Amino acid sequence: MKHFAYILILTFFISCSQKHTDNKTKILSETDSIKKTNDLIIEKIEKDTIEKIELDTSDKRINLDLILNQKHNDYLASIN
């Protein structure tokens, strides 16, 4: 009878251990999916930020070719 009780206790611990392992695996897979989602969001934010910075800097650039062409055209018009 004593051995039977030990076997029951041992079986109980093994079954609890398997449930714990299954729960741990499920939690790890959920964590991985959340991490992937977070990584995608971070990449999107970084991409948008870089595009915004590039757009802002391109708007602030001075177009020297346009200015030189206008000055050249003004000069040619003043000669005529």
End-to-end CA, the chain: 120
Low-confidence ranges of the chain (pLDDT < 50): none
Phi, psi of 53 (to 5 degrees): -65, -45
pTM (whole model) above 0.85 = no
Residue-wise pLDDT for 68-79, tens only, equals: 888 888 888 888
Give residue 80's pLDDT.
67
Helix H, strand E, coil C: the string for the chain is: CHHHHHHHHHHHHHHHHHHHHHHHHHHHHHHHHHHHHHHHHHHHHHHHHHHHHHHHHHHHCCCHHHHHHHHHHHHHHHHC
Q: Which two tokens stand for residue 40?
A: 């995608």
Give residue 26's pLDDT.
79
Give residue 43's pLDDT.
92
